[in-house]
Amino acid sequence: MAHLALRGGSPVRTEPFHPWPVFDDRDKQALIQELEAGRWGIGSPSIEAFEKRFAGFCQARHAVACTNGTDAIYIALQALGIGAGDEVIIPPYTFMATAVAVFMANAIPVFADIDPVTYNIDPESAAAQVTPRTKAIIPVHIAGNPADMDGILALAQKHNLKVIEDAAQAHGAAWKGRRVGALGDCGTFSFQSSKNLASGEGGAIVTNEDGLAERLRSFTNCGRVRNGLWYEHHEVAGNHRLGGFQAALLLAGLERVEEQMKRREENVCYLTGLLNSVGGVTLAGTHAGTTRHAYHLGILRYHQEEFKGLPKKRFIEAMQKEGIDCSSGYIPLYEFHFFRHLAEKLSTYKALYEGRVNYRSGICPVCERVCAEEAVWLTQNVFLGSKKDMEDIAEAVRKIKTYVDEAL
């Protein structure tokens, strides 16, 4: 008789995990108030209120709301003067937006490998990629896990580089007691519907620099300047403004975010202990300076040697059959189709960069191994559930490990 659900056995669970997004009467009332106020876009009090609240949440002097996380990086690059001919160091283990925003600014992304324990950008690998054309580095706080900001900031200071933190997944995460986002020159956030703070779509940039904040606002708002005329435009810039309805939802979401963070932390801690008892699967590590992980993802490290060499893809399939929502996650960015055909896709690449950068397989071996063999994702909503949910995850791992021969 088969034991694994993969082979027809009974699954560990059949009920769904905690739903996302979460909303309550506060969200409904906020939307009705915004509707009735009649100022749904620029000039909405909700937008200004959210920017002030979010800046405080991030322990930053300024927050500039915008359309989405991709535009947030693009606006930051523009405001920092990064453009044609410039190189920007990024990790390959991130969503495509990190690279696409660099292309949008007519600069070129250069990949540095990731740390094998935390899956964040490795400062030593980044240092090896610096050239006279390097102007910025974008550390990504992957999964809500802060990158090694001491190493990144030291590298940036040595080579006079701008630092843009991609904190799209890291709302509330902290490095040495300080919230991520304003540790470098600026940091960018996403409020897309899957994020821990969500409004369907939306983004923000935070900074402690007054002058940079004004430039960020200008590039977000058609090149306008504070106290300027409506048809007075000082920058070549488009409309990247956040809407009032999104701001209203975000204000309501901020009232829940701390409670949700604590729930995720409790469940991750509980699951960690359970997995340690089972063996073969652990959570990705953190750097010594990390004082809070946001857990947008719980990234599991799958050790296939403890499962008789069962490939990661087959392990994930077995977990899914047991009723556990998990996935393989990213592939290295440079393995996407468009990176293989940049000369056809981007005229600026052909004119400025062709032959200068290497996007061939093998350039970031740690990332390639992590994607192919190790990383298994659990999304943040899973950690808003019960201890029973965590027990089911650990039980599915134990079951697959015990009866692994059925999966081979």
If you average pLDDT over residues 112-141, what whole number do you get? Answer: 98
Q: Does position 321 have pLDDT exceeding 90, yes or no?
A: yes
Secondary structure string (H, E, C) spanning the chain: CCCCHHHCCCCCCCCCCCCCCCCCHHHHHHHHHHHHHCCCCCCCHHHHHHHHHHHHHCCCCEEEEECCHHHHHHHHHHHCCCCCCCEEEECCCCCCHHHHHHHHCCCEEEECCECCCCCCECHHHHHHCCCCCEEEECCECHHHCCCCHHHHHHHHHHHCCEEEEECCCCCCCEECCEECCCCCCEEEEECCCCCCCCCCCCEEEEECCHHHHHHHHHHHECCCCCCCCCCCCCCCCCECCCCHHHHHHHHHHHHHHHHHHHHHHHHHHHHHHHHHHHCCEEECCCCCCEEECCCCEEEEEECHHHHCCCCHHHHHHHHHHCCCCCECCCCCHHHCHHHHCHHHHCHHHHHHCCCCCCCCCCCCHHHHHHHHHHEEEEEHHHHHCCHHHHHHHHHHHHHHHHCHHHCC
Residues 142-172: tens digit of each pLDDT: 999 999 999 999 999 999 999 999 999 999 9
Summarised one tens digit per residue, pLDDT across range 14-43 is 999 999 999 999 999 999 999 999 999 999
Cα 186 to Cα 209: distance, rounded to the nearest angstrom? 8
Is the model's pLDDT at 343 over the cut of 90?
A: no
Mean pLDDT computed over every residue of the chain: 97
Summarised one tens digit per residue, pLDDT across range 254-281 is 999 999 999 999 999 999 999 999 999 9
Q: Express each pLDDT in 212-233 by its tens digit.
A: 999 999 999 999 998 999 999 9
> In the chain, what are the domains?
25-253 (3.40.640.10)
The pTM (predicted TM-score) of the whole model is: 0.97
